[in-house]
Amino acid sequence: MAKEKDNTNKTFLLRVDNETMDAVEKWAADEFRSVNGQLQWIIAEALKKSGRKKK
């Protein structure tokens, strides 16, 4: 039987200062995303730009 690709997300704790969190919350709201979705997008874009992730 073929294995299915594991698409589960990992959970981790992220500590940021209030000013940074406020900025991320505003950015997320401006783009109609959740804060979690915005952080995932920011990380994915940084990985692509650095050549560490394809797509």
Residues 6+ apart with CB under 8 A from 10: none
Question: Which pLDDT belongs to residue 39?
Answer: 97
Per-residue model confidence (pLDDT) at position 54: 80
Whether 15 is covered by a domain: the verdict is no
Would you say residue 38 lies in a domain?
yes
Q: What is the CA radius of gyration of the chain?
A: 14
Per the structure, the complete domain to which residue 55 belongs is given by 27-55
- Which is nearest to 36 in space by CA: 21, 48, 19? 21
14 domain-assigned = no
Asked if residue 36 is part of any domain, the answer here is: yes
Residue 21 lies in a domain: no
pTM: 0.79
Q: What is the mean pLDDT of each run of 10 residues along the chain (55 residues)?
A: 73 96 98 97 95 85
Q: How many domains does the chain have?
A: 1
Whether 13 maps to a domain, the answer reads no
- pLDDT score at 36: 96
